[in-house]
A and B are shown apart, each in its own frame.
Chain A
Amino acid sequence: MQGIRNNQQVKQFRALLKDPLLLVVLLFLIFFVVVAILLPILSIVRESASDDGRPLFIRYLSDPVYQGIIWNTLILGTLVGVIGTAIGFLFAFVQVKLNVPFKRFMHLVALVPVISPPFALATSAIVLFGRSGSISRGIFGVRYDIYGLDGLVFVMTLSFFTITYLNLRGMMEALDPALDEAAINLGANRWRVFRTVTIPMLLPGIASSFLLLFVEAIADLGNPLVLGGNYEVLATRVYVTVIGLYNPTGAAVLSIILLVPSLLVFVVQRFWISRISVVSVTGKPTGTPQTIENPFVKWGLFAAAMFVCLMVVLLYGAILHGAFVNVPGVRWDFTLEHFDFVINGIGSQAMRDTTVLSSIATPIAAVIGILIAYFVVRKQFLGRDLLDFGAMLGIAVPGTIIGIGYILAFNTPIMIGGVTIIPKLTGGQAVFGGALAIVLVYITRSVPAALRSGVSSLSQIDPAIEEASVSLGADSARTFRRITLPLIRPALFAGLVYAFARSMTTISAIIFLTTPQTKIMTQQILNEVENGRYGNAFAYCVILVVIVLVAIGVFYALVGTNTGAERRVKGR
Chain B
Amino acid sequence: MNSRTRVSLLLLCLVIAMVAAPAMAQDTTLTVLCTPQEDWCVAMTEAFEAETGIDTNYVRLSSGEALARIRASSADPEFSVWWGGPADAFIAASEEGGLIEQYDSPEAAAIPDQYKDPDGYWTGVYVGALGFCSNVDVLEELGLEAPTSWDDLLAPELQGFVAMAHPATSGTAFTAFWTVVTLKADALEAAEAGTGYDEDGNPTEAAVDEAFAYFTELNNNILQYTRSGSAPGTLAGQGEIAVAIIFSHDCTKLQQEGFEGILTTTFPEEGTGYEIGGMAIIAGAPEPDAARMWYDWALTAAAQEIGPTVNSLQLPTNPDAAISELAVNLSEINVVDYNFAAAGASRVAITERFDAEVASAPAE
A-to-B contact residues, CB < 8 Å? 65-66, 68-69, 126, 130-132, 137, 143, 145, 147, 225, 228-230, 232, 237, 240, 242-246, 248, 326-327, 329-331, 346, 359-360, 363-364, 423-424, 427-429, 431-432, 436, 439, 515-517, 527, 530-533, 554, 558
- B3 CB contacts on chain A under 8 angstroms: 554, 558
Known: A532-B235, A532-B237. 6 other contacts (CB 8 A): A243-B227, A244-B351, A246-B67, A330-B239, A429-B78, A436-B18
In the complex, B69 has a CB within 8 A of chain A: yes
Distance in angstroms from A359 CB to nearest chain B CB is 7
Say yes or no: B72 contacts A246, CB within 8 Å. Answer: yes
For A515, what are the chain B residues with a Cβ–Cβ distance below 8 Å?
A: 59, 78
Could you show 18 A-B contacts with beta carbons less than 8 Å apart?
Answer: A66-B360, A132-B239, A229-B224, A230-B224, A232-B360, A243-B65, A326-B258, A327-B237, A327-B238, A330-B237, A427-B72, A431-B18, A436-B18, A516-B57, A532-B231, A532-B234, A532-B235, A558-B4
Is B73 interfacial (CB 8 A cutoff)? yes
Q: Are A131 and B239 in contact (CB under 8 A)?
A: yes
Chain A residues lying within 8 Å of B144, measured Cβ to Cβ, are none
B262 to chain A, nearest CB (A): 7
Kindly identify which residue among B64, B166, B223, B239 contacts A229, using a CB–CB cutoff of 8 Å. B223
Tell which of A230, A331, A427, A429 has the most Cβ of chain B within 10 Å.
Answer: A230
Is B57 touching A246 in the complex (CB atoms < 8 A)? no
Is B230's CB under 8 angstroms from A531's CB? Answer: yes
Q: Are A244 and B166 in contact (CB under 8 A)?
A: yes
Residue of A nearest to B258 (CB): A327
Q: A284 to B10, alpha carbons, bound, how many Å?
A: 44
Pairwise interchain contact B18-A423, C-beta atoms closer than 8 A? yes
B residues 2-16 in Cβ contact with A at 8 Å:
3-4, 7, 10-11, 14
Neighbouring A residues of B25 by C-beta, 8 Å: none
Which B residues are in CB contact (< 8 Å) with A517? 57
Contacts of B72 in A (CB 8 A): 246, 248, 427
B68-A245 in contact (CB<8A): yes
A240 touches B69 (CB 8 A): no
In whole angstroms, how far apart are the Cα atoms of A65 and B219 in the complex?
14
Question: B226 on the interface (CB 8 Å rule)?
Answer: yes
- Give the shortest distance, in Å, between A500 (CB) and chain B (any CB): 13
B168 interface neighbour in A69, A232, A244, Cβ under 8 Å: A244
Q: In the assembly, what is the distance between CA of A331 and CA of B11, in Å?
A: 46
B233 an interface residue at 8 Å Cβ cutoff? yes
**B60 beta carbon closer than 8 Å to chain A:** yes
A65–B361 CB distance below 8 A? yes
Interface presence of B356 (CB below 8 A): yes
Does chain A have a CB within 8 A of B337? no
Contact B42 A346 (CB under 8 A): yes
A65 and B356 contact, Cβ closer than 8 Å, known pairs A244-B68, A531-B234, A532-B231? yes
Contact B64 A244 (CB under 8 A): yes
Interface string of B164-194 (1 = CB under 8 A from A): 0010110000000000000000000000000
Query: Which residues does chain A contribute within 8 Å of B31, judged by CB atoms?
Result: 516
Inter-subunit contact A428/B166 (CB<8 Å): no
On whether the beta carbons of B355 and A516 are closer than 8 Å, the reply is no
A246 with B68, Cβ < 8 A, contacts A429-B76, A527-B60 known = yes
Q: Does B71 contact A (CB under 8 A)?
A: yes
Q: Which residue of B lies closest to A424 (CB)?
A: B76
Is the pair A237, B240 in contact by a Cβ cutoff of 8 Å? no
Contacts of A68 in B (CB 8 A): 360, 362
Indicate if B328 sits at the interface (CB-CB under 8 A): no
Could you tell me how many residues of chain B have their Cβ less than 8 Å away from some Cβ of chain A? 65
Return chain A residues, CB-CB under 8 Å to B265.
none
Closest Cβ neighbor of A130 among chain B residues: B240
In the complex, the answer to whether B235 meets A228 with C-beta atoms within 8 Å is no
The reply to whether A531 and B228 form a contact with Cβ atoms under 8 Å apart is: yes
Q: Which residues of B contact A360 (CB under 8 A)?
A: 7, 10-11, 14
Distance A132 CA – B240 CA, assembled complex (angstroms): 6
**Which residue on A lies nearest to B282, using beta carbons?**
A428
CB under 8 Å from chain A, chain B span 182-230: 219, 222-224, 226-228, 230
Q: B residues 321-364 with Cβ under 8 Å of A? A: 351-352, 355-356, 360-363
Nearest residue in B to A519 (C-beta to C-beta)? B59
Inter-chain CA distance A101–B239, complex, in Å, is 40
A364 to B230, CA, bound (A): 41
What chain A residues lie within 8 Å of B259 (beta carbons)? 327, 330
A240-B168 contact given A359-B7, A436-B18, A558-B3, CB 8 Å threshold: yes
- Selected from A126, A359, A429, the residue in CB contact (under 8 A) with B286 is A429
Q: Which residues of B contact A554 (CB under 8 A)?
A: 3
Residues in A whose Cβ lies below 8 Å from that of B37? 531
B115 interface contact, C-beta 8 A: no
Q: Shortest beta-carbon distance, B243 to chain A, in Å?
A: 13
Nearest B residue (CB) for A532: B234
B238 & A532 in contact (Cβ 8 Å cutoff): yes
> Are A531 and B238 in contact, CB atoms less than 8 angstroms apart?
no
CB pair B360 A69 closer than 8 Å:
yes
CA A43 – CA B73 in complex, angstroms? 18
Which residues of the other chain, A, contact B79 by a CB distance below 8 angstroms?
Answer: 428, 516
* A329→B238 contact, CB < 8 A: yes
A8: min CB distance to chain B, Å: 37
Check if B160 is an interface residue, CB within 8 A of chain A.
yes
Give bound CA distance, A515 to B78, whole Å: 8
CA distance A516 to B38 in the complex (A): 14
Cβ of B218 to closest chain A Cβ, rounded Å: 12
Check if B119 is an interface residue, CB within 8 A of chain A. no
Tell me the nearest residue of chain B to A326, going by C-beta.
B258
Chain B residues with Cβ below 8 Å from A363 are 7
Q: Are A428 and B168 in contact (CB under 8 A)?
A: no
**Bound form: Cα–Cα A331–B261 in Å:** 12
Shortest B231–chain A CB gap in Å is 5
Q: Is the CB of B258 within 8 A of A432?
A: no
